[in-house]
Amino acid sequence: MAASVPPGAPRQQPPPPPPNYNPNLQQNPNSLSDNFQNLNLNRPVSMPNSGPRPTPFAQSPQFPVTAPSPPMSRPGPPPPGALSRPAGTPQQSFPPNVAPVRPFGPPVGQSLPFGSRPPPGSFPSSMGGGGPVGVPTSGVPPSSAFPSSGSLTRPVGATPGARPFPLASSLPFSSGLNVAPSGASDGVTSNGPMAFAASGGPRFPPAGSGAQQTRTPPAGPPSMLTSARSPQQSPSMRFPPVQQSPFSAAPQNAPPFSSAPPFSAAPQNAPPFSSAPPFSAAPQSAPPFSAAPQSTPPFSGAPSFPAPSPQGPPQVSPFGAHTWSAQPVGPSSSIPGSAQPSRMFGMPPPLQTQTMTNMPPAMGQTGAPMPASSKIDPQQIPRPVPSSTVVLYDTREGNQANPPPPATSEYIVRDMGNCSPRYMRCTISQIPCTNDLLTTSGMQLALLVQPLALPHPSEEPIQIVDFGDMGPVRCSRCKAYINPFMKFIDQGRRFICSLCGFTDETPRDYHCNLGPDGRRRDADDRPELCRGTVEFVATKEYMVRDPMPAVFFFLIDVSMNALQTGATAAACSAISQVISDLPEGPRTMVGIATFDSTIHFYNLKRALQQPLMLIVPDVEDVYTPLQSDIIVPVSECRQHLELLLESIPSMFQNNRTAESAFGAAVKAAFLALKSTGGKLLVFQSVLPSVGIGALSAREAEGRSNISSGEKETHKLLQPADKTLKAMAIEFAEYQVCVDVFITTQTYVDIASISVIPKTTGGQVYYYYPFSALSDPAKLYNDLRWNITRPQGFEAVMRVRCSQGIQVQEYHGNFCKRIPTDIDLPAIDCNKAIMVTLKHDDKLQDGSECAFQCALLYTTVYGQRRIRVTTLSLPCTSNLSNLYRSADLDTQFTCFMKQAASEIPSTPLANVREQMMNLCVNALVSYRKFCATVSSSGQLILPEALKLLPLYTLGKYYNVHSFCA
Amino acid sequence: MTEFMDLEAQDGVRMPWNVIPGTKQEASNCVVPVSAIYTPIKAFPVNNNSMPILPYAPLRCRTCRSILNPFSIVDFAAKIWICPFCFQRNHFPPHYASITDDNLPAELFPQYTTIEYEPPGPGEKSSVPPVFMFVVDTCIIEEEMSFLKSALSQAIDLLPDNSLVGLITFGTLVQVHELGGFGQIIPKTYVFKGSKDVSKDQLLEQLNFFIKKPKPSTGVIAGVRDGLSSDTIARFLVPAFDCEFTLNSVLEELQKDPWPVPPDQRSTRCTGTALSIAASLLGACVPGSGARILAFVGGPSTEGPAAIVSKNLSEPIRSHKDLDKDSAPHYHKAVKFYDALSKQLVHQGHVLDLFACALDQVGVAELKVAVEKTGGLVVLSDSFGHAVFKDSVRRVFHSGDYDLGLSSNGIFEINCSKDIKVQGIIGPCASLEKDLIAGFDQEAAAVVMARLVSFKMEIEAEFDPIRWLDKALIHMCSRFGDYQKDSPSSFSLSPRFSIFPQFMFHLRRSQFVQVFNNSPDETAYFRMILNRENVTNSVVMIQPSLISYSFHSGPEPALLDVAAIAADRILLLDSYFTVVIFHGATIAQWRKAGYHNQPEHQAFAQLLQAPHDDAGVIMKERFPVPRLVICDQHGSQARFLLAKLNPSATYNSDAQIPGGDIIFTDDVSFEVFLDHLQRLAVQ
């Protein structure tokens, strides 16, 4: 690993941000591209050459990893696709176009390997999600069935990379998302455009063909798997993982089909598939659409197989050979099988019609089992078509909001008054005038807000506006910030708030005459009057105290297990390497503590001597041992830090303490951070077993209870007790954000632990099973991105809406103490918040409805800023307009987030049914009210939602495997 | 008087009544209780006649466990001795077989009424090194901290090489320093919450005592023999020669307690918790061997079970008045805590020494019980920079002349005859009144009265010490004086009693009785010293000695009276806690003019120097080191002298005083006091 991970190489972006540095503005040109698609991706760490090297990718993927998860998903679903086709109309099914996509798929898949872990990032459960792989065990039988489904999967595979990311971060399901059709190509490029491209090429060069071919060879499904993997492994440790994962997915599928090659090969190699077809039959019976329940059965089977845990390993396995063996089982493949039904959807609808696609009656009939297949015209299946061209996108055109480009495409935004869709996008680009209309449409109204999202390098940076002591101009009633939609009247002496409609006096200093067009003459000179996103310099009124310094506190597990697995050494080394990446300046503070059954702080400020270890032995009632000196400016303690980080692994070398006081340690570190707030980065390797918030090995109970049904098992996804939640709320109150890096080889009850990061705006990273060989590089990369990415502290966010609409709920990782605002002890460019909306009144047809997100935060350099993002959308009372302006990517992301949040508390069957219903309702309504021509046997899809069935299917599987 | 001195020189004992009243009734009529003041490990001069140390175990009486002594009746023929306490007949053991009239064992020599045994114990017990656990307050200002650091590092230099040393610092939290981390890259400290009392078991657990060697399931955990690995003990208690470097480096980095203290608050100081942790640690590691906890405290405890005052500055620290009215909310809780601590320490055989240095009170009144019961030392001073503290610390560790001969873990048994109220020493008893007077030791009696009145003031509510002392004195005078009833002028006291009223007069005015100007801490401190000092020193506390220096005569004792002040005199006052050198107005003028620096005024220089030399001698011998005050007549510091003088001349006396000084007081002078006494005694 070490070799591969050239630390030096990956980092190329040292440029210290200038004081005024705007987080959003990326320094690196290269990074820009990254920004694009991989929100989640840490910066793709642009390493042109390094690309091939796993590290870069791995690293970048990490977050994205979540994205990677997609890969995982792929394995599952894709295979089915491949297989399925064979069954149905193998040869035909593959559209020529598809083929190219697939090839990419593998590369993407590579990213996946890493990805598998990443998923954890979002939710532990999601990890389970990794499950896609996990399913494998039972795999064989299922696999056969699924193979056919393969076709669908493929497209999915390609896409996964791209879309999954956005969702992935927040949603466990990301994998499901991956499935998303969005141009596979996009995915590829986006993910690590650089990385992938580079790596993908070299390694898999054959990717498409080569890889597939290799796979194909293995005839026997089981054997296939093994063989395929093994070869990969041999190539190179790092790469293998990457490749493997991609492949692994494939292999899994393959095995069942025997014609594993399905993915790549499938399209081209029709023959192999043909054999597969046999299986396909089964899946079809399950037609997803027809009824979720039906489909369920197949899935249910899958769950039974491997518990989530198995899945986990497989993912990880990439590196570890042994792990693979387990994975090979390829239960995932089984799942994929289920996917087959999806085809049905896709196939019929010819893409041609813009508004809607019709499914051939035969196809459409969900009920129709295999036989239908013959009638399906695979070429008509709507699937994501990647576009390689960069879209130039103006947010408004002709004084009208412009519907945003697909989230996964590469686009360059020109802010014409509405914000860039990167910062905020709505599920529908037109707002229904009434709640009834919305209900009828079967769609959801929600915003996805990512206030610090990375812009495209070619985009104009966000402008910073300083109103001086006066502070930004705001509506005196609703407190909305000045924006391009405020209407100035009365020679500019007054203005009408675009949100609440109240008429305000223009502050004298801000007065300006109006031009003949009714706009202020200075409108184009003032960013706040012509840009959808601006950043205001906050005045004292926006501060309850001086802006906090950038504080990074590292908390490292030094229990026996952590030492023996090398996790401690990996953490220390990663920290040691990132110290130099911390923001420059006297405001950057650092602290370190270690813990096993006691907590050890270090006094880093001893002028003449080495650091002093301060041990807090009481883990039931913790405290911080020093008021100052354990968190010191990084510039004053570099030497101490280096010495300390170097010494920690050897100091605890012979530690015999197996217990871990995670909760107490986090609490103690919090107490140290309490006066300033800051980021707490915890490296944890074992189940917290003593002190505050100690947990028990629930997973054992879960396993033993599995026979009692899902009712019991899903409890494992819920936090074990409320102690940690209460702690987390306190942390958030004092602006402490906790990120947890779980480097483990055992069960650590992430469901419980994750409550802390979730509530404090943090993140979980999961390295399982931790390997001292392959993981340190990834850990380092994750940590580095965590620290260097654009971010802010002590943030408060609120979304305001025009009268008639109000915020219903916020979803994401944050703490909410009052209904209208959310508190984010830390926020970074990877964090997105979903905001659901509801009507509280009728809107005027033809008017515009505005949404404004205000994020008050402190930059790492200690400036208090307010980032204001405004989006104004037309209102409509026409149902067809709604369908036409639906934003599938956003809608689907919302579905995913909701499903993810429900899984721990709702029986799986219900969640799946709900997912199906969301899809079915929208389509039924469309058919009922908007489809002019329809025969009973036809499936009609609105153009904007044409991929909805496909995505839903992917998610469906994903959820399934996740729970398995 | 001298016979009493001789007795003290031989046995370290002084008693007010060296003749014992024959009946209980008589004893109670004696007013001054029958009692003894004993200095158990008084250093005896080394000479031919000095106390021998016997290399064998003492011979004890079968029934009362008293030890064979010169007062035993020995039947050499039958090889039997009769215990003088219980009259039990005891056979000599075989190894006394050769005993004869001419061949007496040392313990039967008449002059060896005090003797020491040093039986060869199992495994050379004497090899157990002394243990010093430093418990250091860090809630003090930087300046004090630097004084304290330098005092400590001096002390460490003076430690015997083989002694074991531990260090605990405290403030808001308690830090137990791991001094024995040999080969460790990074020094370690265990940090405990100050507000929470940690039990011994928890402490051991939390200090990782059971990591290498599991905790024994039963039994007391104490020391290496009882389940602790010596490795773990060696982490906290390290031989002085091994840890000097570590210790000094820890001290060097020692900072003021870093927790912020709001301006309206006291700093958070958990003295009680720190002492408790120190006691538990010693109890676990070195039970039963001589260990001392040396506590350096710079302010009041405000945190934890033994807080003496809240953190809020608006709440004053308890005064005598609060204690009298029982309105000191923390007092009883803290005393109870330290009482428990003292029991623990006594049980473990460990000593608590207290060095309290602060302008404010630190809680000596509460800590008194723990210090006294463990036989610890106490030093009270204004600052860690004050000579009283610095010199005292040096004295504690200094060896050689004037060393304190610190010993510990002693067991003090007293055997008494059943019928006779005698303690420790036996004298011929008579029931005659006159003889009683002959056996009266006025000084010892005064000291006993002082201890008694102090004790009663602490224990009895609503106790009026002045009244009680007056009544006792009057009672005494009417009992032992010669007078004709109702004729004050006929009153006279035997020489044996003659100075007793004077002692009482000064006792009434002493810090032991007049507590108003002192804080409870100071009072506690004075009483603790009184209770541990011998008669001579105690008398100085009650009635300071005054020496006058002038050109007319050599140094001579002067009357403790304002009349002793003269412009051309230098006075040296020794009130035990304070030594005052007082220059008369003229002397002061000359000195300021620098005459003593001129060769022709050598005599003056010598006169100036003489009291300093004498003061130096006093200070060298005394522990705690007294405060030295050098002042001039009419100077503000002169109050230290004036407060102790008999106010024979006050602002309302008519007569012009020779010394030219008066005392601003309403207190009665000694003459008036005696007047009244005579009148009342003869009634």
Domain edges within chain B: 1-41+434-517, 52-113, 133-397, 544-669
Q: Does the domain formed by B52-113 have CATH 3.40.50.720?
A: no
Query: Is residue A560's pLDDT more than 80?
Result: yes
Which residues touch A885 (CB under 8 Å, ≥6 apart)? A403, A428, A429, A430, A876, A944
A181-190, A567-576, A609-618, A671-680: least confident range = A181-190
pLDDT (tens digit per residue) in A84-97: 333 333 344 334 44
Q: So what's the pLDDT on residue A152?
A: 38
Q: How many CB pairs under 8 A join A and B?
A: 75
Top residue of A572, A622, A627, A647 to mutate, by most chain B CBs within 10 Å, is A627
How far is it, in rounded angstroms, from Cα B182 to Cα A76? 57
Whether residues B253 and A625 touch (CB distance < 8 A) is answered with no
- Say whether B258 and A629 touch across the interface (CB within 8 A): yes
Of the candidates A642, A787, A872, A816, the residue with the CA atom closest to the CA atom of residue A42: A787
**H helix or E strand, kind and range, residue B357:** strand B350-357
Specify the pLDDT at position B222: 59
Residue B103 sits at φ, ψ, to 5 deg, of -125, 75
Chain A residues lying within 8 Å of B236, measured CB to CB? none
**pTM exceeds 0.90 for this model:** no
Indicate if the pLDDT at residue A134 is higher than 80: no
**Of residues B281 and A383, which shows the higher confidence score?**
B281
| Predicted confidence (pLDDT) at residue A801 exceeds the cutoff of 80 | yes
Min Cα–Cα distance to chain A from B193, Å: 7
What pLDDT score does B10 carry?
Answer: 66
d(CA B140, CA A590): 28
Do A813 and A924 lie in a common domain? yes
Q: Is A785 helix (H, G, I), strand (E, B) or coil?
A: helix
Contact B175 A625 (CB under 8 A): yes
Q: Supply the pLDDT for residue A761.
A: 92
Question: Cβ distance B509 to B677 under 8 Å?
Answer: no
Q: For residue A57, what pLDDT is reported?
A: 37
| pLDDT, tens digit, 9 for 90 and up, residues A63-117 | 333 333 333 333 333 333 333 333 333 344 334 443 333 333 333 333 333 333 4
Q: What is the pLDDT of residues B513-548, one digit of tens each?
A: 887 778 888 888 888 888 777 778 888 888 888 999
User: Mind listing the pLDDT tens digit for each residue in B442-464?
Assistant: 787 787 788 777 777 877 877 88
CA distance A825 to A792: 8
Q: Residue A608: which pLDDT band, with cuts at 50, 70 and 90?
A: low
- Please check whether residue A546 lies inside any domain of the structure: no
d(CA B54, CA B66): 17
CATH number at residue A503: 2.30.30.380
Q: Is beta strand A533-537 parallel, antiparallel or unpaired with respect to A463-465?
A: parallel
A605 and A742 part of one domain: yes
Whether B339 has a pLDDT exceeding 60, the answer reads yes
Interval A403-417 mean pLDDT: 90
Residue A832 has pLDDT above 80, yes or no: yes
- Inter-chain touch B189–A615, beta carbons under 8 Å: yes
Give the whole-number percent of chain A exceeding pLDDT 70. Answer: 57
* Residues ≥6 apart with Cβ < 8 Å to B38: B11, B12, B13, B14, B424
Are A774 and A803 part of one and the same domain? no
In one-letter notation, the amino acid at residue A941 is L
Say what the pLDDT of residue A946 is: 84
pLDDT range class, residue B180, cuts 50, 70, 90: confident
Claim to verify: residue A450 and residue A572 sit in the same structural domain: no
The pLDDT of residue A481 is: 95
* Out of B190, B212, B258, closest to residue A617 by CB: B190
pLDDT tens-digit profile of A273-330? 333 333 333 333 333 343 333 333 333 333 333 333 333 333 333 333 333 333 333 3
User: Residue A162: pLDDT above 50?
Assistant: no
* B181-192 pLDDT tens trace: 655 678 888 999
Q: Which residue of A lies nearest to B196 if distances are taken between CA atoms?
A: A621
Residues A641 and A747 in one domain: yes
Within a 10 A sphere around the Cβ of B658, how many other Cβ atoms?
Answer: 12
Contacts of B211 in chain A (CB under 8 A): 656-657
Mean pLDDT of B298-320: 89
Tens digit of each residue's pLDDT (9 = 90 or more) over B155-165: 888 888 888 88
Tell me whether residue A640 is in a domain: yes
DSSP one-letter code for A379: G
Chain B: closest CA distance from residue A658 (Å): 11
Say yes or no for a CB contact (<8 Å) between A613 and B208.
no
Residue A800, domain member (yes or no) = yes
Residue A738 lies in a domain: yes
Please report whether residue A127 resides in a domain: no
Domain B133-397, CATH: 3.40.50.410
What does the pLDDT read at residue A869?
A: 95
- Average pLDDT (B106-134) is 71
In a domain, A171, yes or no: no
Sorted by sequence, the CB contacts under 8 Å of residue A860 that are 6+ apart come out as A17, A23, A550, A583, A587, A588, A791, A792, A793
Residues of chain B whose beta carbon is less than 8 angstroms from a beta carbon of chain A are: 172-173, 175, 184-193, 196, 198, 202, 205-208, 211-212, 249, 252-253, 258-260
**Residue A85, pLDDT score:** 39
User: From CA A83, how far away is CA A537, in angstroms rounded?
Assistant: 57
Same domain (yes/no): A566, A504: no
Cα angle B424-B430-B434, degrees, rounded to a multiple of 5:
115
Q: Which of A761, A789, A817 is the last residue of a domain?
A: A789
Q: B141: closest CA among B133, B152, B129, B149?
A: B149
In Å, what is the CA distance from A767 to each residue of A290, A535, A836, B428?
Answer: 39, 37, 33, 92
ipTM higher than the 0.90 cut:
no
pLDDT of A703? 57
Residue A653's pLDDT band, with cuts at 50, 70 and 90, is confident
pLDDT, greater one: A59 or B274: B274
CB nearest to A647's CB, from B186, B190, B193: B186
Q: Which two structure tokens, joined as six digits, stand for A148?
A: 């056919």
Q: Residue A424 pLDDT more than 50?
A: yes
Residue A624 pLDDT more than 70?
A: yes
Q: What percent of chain B has pLDDT over 70?
A: 82
Set of chain A residues whose Cβ sits within 8 Å of the Cβ of B268: none
Looking at the fold, whether A737 and A655 belong to one and the same domain comes out as yes
Q: Give the HSE-up count for residue A524: Cα atoms under 13 Å, Cβ half-sphere.
A: 4
- Are B601 and B595 within 8 A, CB to CB? yes
Regarding whether A672 and A816 lie in a shared domain, the answer is: no
| Predicted local distance difference test score (pLDDT) of residue A809 | 92
Give the pLDDT band (50/70/90) at residue B199: confident
Task: Tell me if A617 and B208 make a contact (CB, 8 A cut-off).
Answer: yes
The model's confidence at residue A578, banded by pLDDT at 50, 70 and 90, is very high
pLDDT at residue A259 greater than cutoff 70? no
Residue B57's pLDDT is: 79
Q: What is the pLDDT of residue B370?
A: 86
Note whether residue A291 is domain-resident: no
- Residue A916: which residues within 8 A CB-CB, separation 6 or more? A288, A289, A291, A292, A295, A952, A956
Residues B140-150 pLDDT 10s: 998 999 999 99
Q: Examine the pLDDT at B640 and tell me if it is beyond 60.
A: yes
Cα separation, B359 vs B142, in Å, equals 15
- pLDDT value at B420 more than 50: no
What is the domain extent for residue A497?
471-527
A922-950 pLDDT per residue, tens: 888 888 888 766 566 667 788 888 888 88
Sheet order of strands, A494-496 included = A487-489, A494-496, A503-505
- CATH number of the domain located at residue range(s) B544-669 in this protein: 3.40.20.10
Q: Chain B residues with CB inside 8 Å of A600's CB?
A: 188
A618 versus B653: the higher-pLDDT residue is A618
Closest CA relative to residue B668, chosen from B655, B652, B656: B652
Is A378 a domain residue? no
- Name the range with the highest mean pLDDT among A337-341, A664-668, A893-897: A664-668
Q: How far is B165 from chain A (nearest CA, A)?
A: 19
CA distance B303 to chain A (A): 15
Same domain, A680 and A579: yes
The whole-number pLDDT of residue A702 equals 55
- Number of domains into which chain A is organized: 3
Mean pLDDT of chain A: 69
Chain A contact probe: residue of B178, B185, B199, B249 with most A CBs at under 10 A = B185
Tens-place pLDDT, residues A444-498: 999 999 999 999 999 999 999 999 999 999 999 999 999 999 999 999 999 999 9
pLDDT, position B224: 60
Amino acid B221: pLDDT: 56
Mean pLDDT over residues A22-43, rounded? Answer: 40
Q: Specify whether A807 is located in the same domain as A841.
A: yes
Residue of higher predicted confidence among B9 and A790:
A790
Q: Evaluate whether B133-397 and B544-669 have a shared fold.
A: no
* Pair A805, A837: CB distance under 8 Å: yes
Tell me the pLDDT of chain B averaged across its residues.
79
Which residue on chain A is closest to B183 by alpha carbon? A651
- CATH code for residues B1-41+434-517: 1.20.120.730
pLDDT band at A713; cut points 50, 70, 90: low
A819 and A886, same domain (yes or no): yes
Which of A499-508, A531-540, B664-673 is the least confident region?
B664-673
